[in-house]
């Protein structure tokens, strides 16, 4: 048992800024074209200087990589491509020394098909205790040749695959990701063991993958057919694959383990848009945080953003949790691209950063947000996401938002790796996007993030909640209890600056007005 060298204050996460490290794409320490723990370790000082409080590291566990690590073959070890346990421990210790909290992904809903358990289930046959760890069923129709129900996989195709003895197994994601059976106490006990394994090593918490999955309704009834079963969208109560009431039992078990490690926390990936249903995950004995995807799914408009913010605050208002704001992650187009790409997308992304970081509660940044990384259109032959393959090329998948981070230099791989090639190709023309180039430029996205993160530590950006202020058409303005006023102009034309001392602006406000697609922080 490792004893953490640091003492965690309770609720250190309540106003924290987390930085999502998509491990494959963050930094490659050993020149094999794939990011890893050694690469991350070398960049810890950069993250400290950026001013974030905590990390979320995406899965780095042994995996055949059918879903780039979200198919876990052994939840209690490190994938050799990413390093080993000793390297993890060293990285963790160093992060703690630098004052960074470290959280890691926990993937309870499914395992890899290569996990020993699944291989044993295949070998043991129908009716065995080995099969009872997963969701094996007989098929329907003549000879059971039809799947047990009509559920589609979120990656395309049916959520069922047939095995040679005739049974079918459920996989809400890829066939290489069989769903585990959370009605089986052995499965729950195994999850608890995994949590303890990492908590004993000193991690400060978890991001819980598909936290609205895990529980499946009795009898696995057909779901309401839906035209678009798209990735992780919330389709409401007709979609029996997600958000079943039984999932809260699992969350209470997860919380009970965390409570034995004071100060540790979990954030859930909960794609549930109904405010009341989302709030249930944040009961005092369940998750401390749930990602709020309303900001990530809102268009660049004052009305949509206002609505997203109001609903998010209303959802957490009934719970002990703060709001938890996300603009981008490894599953969705990056916000620079969503907001129009190129110059306009970047302008808006600068404004969005000031909006996100002024809101009360927790903020999650995705690696590269601080550099203003856009999505990259990749040629077909470069695509790797299972969505692309499973949808027969109908969906291009998520590779575009997973391009490696550009660190320095003028040519691919821009200091990401010692190799010029990378697991997803990096484009030409990114010399100006590197951290090195932006560090020297006071007008860069990186400089804006650093300034905003520093100001976020001041009294102005403090206190619970916000007060909406009157604002010109196409704008949003609010005040935080600490005195910060944030004005965001979603329109194309300039508006007058409100009273107050300008603390930070995403565009030039020298003439006394805030240009379109820009935001400003003022001390009123």
Interface residue list for ligand GLC (CB under 6 A): 67, 70, 107, 173, 209-210, 232, 269, 330-331
Q: Which is nearer to ligand GLC, 177 or 506 (CB)?
A: 177
Q: Which is nearer to ligand GLC, 366 or 478 (CB)?
A: 366
Q: Are 328 and 334 in contact (CB under 8 A)?
A: yes
Q: Work out the widest C-alpha separation in the chain, in whole angstroms.
A: 76
Q: Are 312 and 325 in contact (CB under 8 A)?
A: yes
Q: Which is nearer to ligand GLC, 236 or 465 (CB)?
A: 236
Q: Which is nearer to ligand GLC, 15 or 67 (CB)?
A: 67
Q: Which is nearer to ligand GLC, 43 or 330 (CB)?
A: 330
Helix and strand element counts for the chain (H, E): 14, 18
How far is residue 135's CA from residue 170's CA, in Å, rounded to a whole number? 6
Report the nearest approach of ligand GLC to the CB of residue 68 (Å): 7
What are the distances in angstroms from CA 358 to CA 100, 309, 354, 504, 519?
21, 12, 6, 11, 11
Q: Which is nearer to ligand GLC, 24 or 133 (CB)?
A: 24
HSE-CB for 162 with a 13 A CA cutoff: 13
Report CA 180 to chain centroid distance, whole Å.
Answer: 22
Neighbours of 33 (CB within 10 A): 20
Q: Which is nearer to ligand GLC, 112 or 337 (CB)?
A: 112
Which residue shows structure tokens 């009872």?
Answer: 132
Q: Are 147 and 222 in contact (CB under 8 A)?
A: no
Q: Which is nearer to ligand GLC, 325 or 490 (CB)?
A: 325
Report the nearest approach of ligand GLC to the CB of residue 231 (Å): 8
Report the nearest approach of ligand GLC to the CB of residue 174 (Å): 8
Report the nearest approach of ligand GLC to the CB of residue 292 (Å): 15
Report the nearest approach of ligand GLC to the CB of residue 177 (Å): 6
Report the nearest approach of ligand GLC to the CB of residue 107 (Å): 6
Report the nearest approach of ligand GLC to the CB of residue 76 (Å): 18
User: Backbone phi, then psi, for 293, in 5-degree steps?
Assistant: -95, 5
Nearest position to ligand GLC, beta carbon: 70
How far is residue 325's CA from residue 293's CA, in Å, rounded to a whole number? 7
How far is residue 414's CA from residue 433's CA, in Å, rounded to a whole number? 9
What are the distances in angstroms from CA 380 to CA 78, 392, 412, 425?
30, 12, 19, 12
SS3 assignment, position 145: coil
Q: Which is nearer to ligand GLC, 234 or 436 (CB)?
A: 234
Report the nearest approach of ligand GLC to the CB of residue 271 (Å): 8
Nearest to residue 356, comparing CAs of 488, 458, 523, 509?
Answer: 488
User: Backbone phi, then psi, for 235, in 5-degree steps?
Assistant: -105, 10
Q: Which is nearer to ligand GLC, 44 or 278 (CB)?
A: 278
Give the helix ranges, DSSP H, for 115-222: 116-124, 185-201
Q: Are 479 and 467 in contact (CB under 8 A)?
A: yes
Report the nearest approach of ligand GLC to the CB of residue 173 (Å): 5
Report the nearest approach of ligand GLC to the CB of residue 172 (Å): 8
Q: How many residues in total does the chain contain?
A: 524
Give the helix ranges, DSSP H, for 331-439: 335-338, 342-358, 386-390, 435-439
């Amino acid at each position: 048992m490792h004893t953490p060298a640091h003492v965690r204050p309770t609720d250190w996460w309540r106003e924290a800024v987390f930085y999502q490290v998509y491990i494959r794409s963050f930094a490659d320490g050993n020149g094999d074209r794939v990011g890893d723990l050694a690469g991350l370790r070398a960049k810890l000082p950069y993250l400290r200087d950026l001013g974030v409080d905590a990390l979320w590291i995406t899965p780095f566990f042994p995996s055949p990589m059918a879903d780039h690590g979200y198919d876990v073959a052994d939840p209690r070890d490190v994938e050799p491509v990413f390093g080993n346990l000793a390297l993890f421990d060293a990285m963790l210790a160093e992060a703690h020394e630098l004052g960074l909290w470290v959280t890691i992904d926990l993937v309870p809903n499914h395992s890899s098909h290569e996990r020993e358990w699944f291989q044993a289930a295949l070998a043991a046959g129908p009716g065995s205790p080995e099969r009872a760890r997963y969701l094996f069923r007989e098929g329907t129709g003549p000879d059971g040749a039809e799947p047990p129900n009509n559920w589609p996989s979120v990656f395309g195709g049916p959520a069922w695959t047939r095995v040679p003895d005739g049974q079918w197994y459920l996989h809400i994601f890829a066939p290489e990701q069989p769903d585990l059976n959370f009605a089986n106490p052995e499965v729950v006990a195994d999850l608890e063991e995994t949590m303890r394994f990492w908590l004993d090593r000193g991690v400060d918490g978890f991001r819980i993958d598909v936290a609205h999955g895990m529980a499946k309704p009795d009898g696995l009834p057909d779901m309401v057919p839906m035209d678009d079963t798209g990735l992780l969208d919330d389709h409401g109560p007709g979609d029996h694959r997600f958000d079943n009431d039984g999932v809260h039992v699992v969350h209470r078990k997860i919380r009970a383990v965390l409570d034995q490690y004071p100060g540790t926390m979990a954030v859930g990936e909960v794609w549930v848009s109904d405010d009341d249903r989302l709030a249930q995950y944040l009961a005092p004995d369940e998750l401390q945080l749930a990602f709020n995807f309303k900001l990530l799914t809102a268009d660049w408009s004052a009305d949509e953003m206002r609505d997203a913010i109001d609903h998010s605050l209303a959802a957490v208002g009934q719970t002990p949790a703060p709001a938890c704001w996300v603009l981008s992650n490894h599953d969705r187009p990056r916000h620079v691209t969503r907001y129009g790409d190129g110059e306009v997308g970047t302008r808006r992304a600068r404004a969005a950063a000031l909006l996100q970081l002024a809101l009360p509660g927790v903020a999650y940044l995705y690696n590269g947000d601080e550099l203003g990384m856009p999505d990259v259109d990749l040629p077909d032959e470069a695509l790797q996401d299972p969505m692309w393959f499973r949808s027969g090329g109908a969906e291009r998948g998520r590779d575009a938002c997973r391009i490696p981070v550009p660190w320095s230099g003028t040519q691919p791989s821009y200091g990401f790796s010692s190799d010029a090639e990378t697991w997803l190709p990096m484009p030409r023309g990114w010399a100006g996007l590197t951290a090195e180039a932006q560090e020297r430029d006071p007008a860069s996205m990186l400089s804006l993030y650093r300034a905003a993160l520093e100001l976020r530590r001041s009294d102005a950006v403090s206190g619970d909640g916000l007060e909406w202020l009157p604002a010109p058409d196409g704008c949003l303005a609010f005040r935080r209890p600490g005195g910060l006023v944030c004005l965001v102009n979603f329109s194309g034309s300039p508006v007058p600056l409100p009273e107050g001392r300008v603390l930070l602006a995403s565009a030039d406000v020298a003439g006394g007005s805030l240009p379109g697609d820009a935001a400003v922080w003022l001390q009123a």
